[in-house]
Amino acid sequence: MIPTPDLSHLTSQDFGKIYEPAEDTFLLLDALEQDQDQIQALQPKICLEIGSGSGCVTTLLAKVIGSQALYLTTDLNQHACKATFQTGQKNQVDIECTRTNLVNGLLPRLFHSVDILCFNPPYVVTPSSEVGSFGIEASWAGGIDGREVIDQFLPLVSVRDLLSPHGVFYLLLINENRPLDVMDILKGYGLTSYISLERRAGRERQYILKIQRES
């Protein structure tokens, strides 16, 4: 068992500004821990998390891989960028967080370079007007079908531009996001995917899609 990252440095005031780890976060952590042998065998050099929030996911990933990899994150929320850095420091992990939308500004520098990509996107079904803010609501507001941010990201870089030849992408979805539809979209970009883990959390059915290049 890999210990859950220490977040004791973050207060209730912090979690009024950033997303507090919840069932979806822990499902993603479980997926990474489940695949730790495969991840270690890959010997990742560059890892990227989109929308890092508290930094919990990247910190655990670093515990799986070790210090030989570069850990990069992005977030629109300046408080999340600060919290991510602090969580890394609290857990003896160096994390570089860039304040940006999705992966804007990271290409072409990271072209075909990311070995592990993680994204727990804003997936809650909300009015479109709530999507794209710079505050905490940006962490959950997904617009129509909870898919607006997801659908913005997938064709933005078609994921293939980021993933290294053997790279793995972990994407969290809920049933309302229509995971099978997302898998069809990914297939159109030359990516294969399957549901590696799923769990019910209250009224939500949450899924982790594991995505790689087609061989």
Domain presence at residue 49: yes
- SS3 state at 159: coil
Domain presence at residue 115: yes
pLDDT at 135: 80
* Alpha-carbon gap, residue 114 to 72, rounded angstroms: 10
How would you write the pLDDT of the chain (215 residues) with one tens digit per residue? 899 999 999 999 999 999 999 999 999 999 999 999 999 999 999 999 999 999 999 999 999 999 999 999 999 999 999 999 999 999 999 999 999 999 999 989 999 999 999 999 999 999 998 888 878 888 999 999 999 999 989 886 668 899 999 999 999 999 999 999 999 999 999 999 999 999 999 889 999 999 999 87
Domain presence at residue 210: no
* Alpha-carbon gap, residue 121 to 119, rounded angstroms: 6
Cβ–Cβ < 8 Å for 37, 129: no
Can you give the CATH number for the domain in which 38 is found?
A: 3.40.50.150
Q: Which single residue is written with the structure tokens 């009224």?
A: 203
Q: Tell me the Cα Rg of the chain.
A: 16
Domain presence at residue 146: yes
pLDDT at 157: 61
Q: Which of 209, 77, 80 is nearest to 150 (CA)?
A: 209
pLDDT at 186: 93
- Per the structure, the complete domain to which residue 185 belongs is given by 19-202
Domain presence at residue 120: yes
In whole angstroms, what separates CA 78 from the centre of its chain? 17
Domain presence at residue 117: yes
Give the strand order in the sheet containing 114-119. Answer: 95-99, 70-75, 46-50, 114-119, 163-174, 204-213, 191-201
Domain presence at residue 213: no
Domain presence at residue 211: no
Domain count of the fold of the chain: 1
**What DSSP string describes 103-132?**
TTTTTTTTTTTEEEEEE----B---GGGTT
pLDDT at 156: 64
